Every structure is written in C-alpha cells, then in structure tokens.
C-alpha cells in the first residue's frame, strides 16, 4: 500500500510539473536602442547609439579589443523578461561576463546573467529579470557589464544603457 501511494505521488508531481511547462509562453521583440562605455571614460561622451551593419535592429553595446557585446532582441518567458545578447571573447584567455548594479526604469532589479566564454569564441545569453514579466515593462536598462577572469579578478567594466 505504501508503494502505491509513493507511485501515485510521483505521478502527480510529474503531471504538475508538466502542466507548468505547458503554460509557459514566449514573447520577443527587437530592441530599439542602447550603448555601453568603459566605466573609466567620461560620462559626457557622445551618446550616439551604435548599431551593427549586419542587422539594423542589433545594438552593439561594446566593441573593443576584449569583447564585442551585441543585443539582438527582447524576450519574455517563464523566468521573466530580458535582453538576448551575443558576446564574443576577443582575448586569448577564458573570460566570464556578468551584469551588476542593474536597474529597469529607475528601479534596481537583479539580473540573472553570467557567461563563461573561451578564447576566440562567441556565447549567447539573456540578461533576464525575474520581476519583469512583460516586454513593455522592460525599459531604460542601466547598469554595468563586467568582464572577469577565471580567478574572478575584474578585467574591464562597462556602463550600459538600453532605452
């Protein structure tokens, strides 16, 4: 009898978890504009938005000797809304790219984002916010994009802003 109850509980848990997955929806939109500057540079620099030549919708946040970071779209799923990014490691060492001190529309929000990228490789990820559910709420991102090495020493930090 105890085995039957355990099997029944296991089946119920499985059905419940499958129903949660089935309820998820994905939504995506192109991003309008954004930028990033190394934190040691002056905040009064030119605020023009750089866009890649490949697709007019892509936004190049960073393109220097260390990384190239491009935002391709906004996306919302079960875990929240966020920005889809592609980051290229231009260095000869493994790097980790993370976000820090992020805010959405003036409110501090913790972003889920960390990519480990091998030398010369490109990685795709999502700067995602669990408290933001709809793409329309995903406005005015400000924060830092931080590049660290395997020993967690900061190599470079960039101020980022996406309108």
Which of 78, 61, 48 is closest to 160 using CA atoms? 61
CA separation for the pair 35, 53 (Å, rounded)? 15
Residue 2: is its pLDDT beyond 70? no
Give whole-number Cα distances, 66 to 91, 104, 107, in Å.
5, 26, 30
Instruction: Identify any residues that bridge with 76 across adjacent strands, giving them in sequence order.
Output: 27, 81
pLDDT digits (tens, 9 = 90+) for 56-113: 479 999 999 999 999 999 999 999 999 999 999 999 999 999 999 999 999 999 999 9
Domain boundaries of the chain, sorted by first residue: 26-162
Angle at 57 between CA 50 and CA 66, to 5 degrees: 45
CATH topology of domain 26-162: Immunoglobulin-like (2.60.40)
pLDDT tier at 44, thresholds 50, 70, 90:
very low
């Amino acid at each position: 009898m105890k085995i039957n109850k355990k099997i029944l509980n296991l089946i119920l848990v499985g059905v419940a978890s499958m129903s949660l997955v089935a309820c998820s929806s994905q939504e995506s939109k192109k991003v309008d504009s954004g930028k990033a500057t190394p934190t040691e540079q002056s905040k009064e620099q030119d605020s023009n938005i750089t866009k890649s030549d490949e697709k007019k919708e892509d936004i190049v946040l960073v393109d220097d000797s260390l990384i190239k970071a491009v935002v391709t779209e906004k996306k919302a799923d079960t875990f929240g809304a966020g920005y889809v990014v592609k980051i290229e490691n231009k260095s000869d060492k493994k790097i980790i790219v993370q976000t820090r001190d992020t805010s959405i529309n003036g409110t501090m929000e913790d972003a889920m984002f960390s990519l480990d990228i091998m030398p010369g490789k490109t990685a795709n990820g999502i700067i995602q916010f669990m408290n933001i559910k709809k793409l329309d709420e995903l406005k005015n991102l400000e924060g830092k994009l931080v590049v660290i090495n395997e020993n967690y020493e900061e190599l470079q930090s960039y101020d980022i802003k996406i309108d």
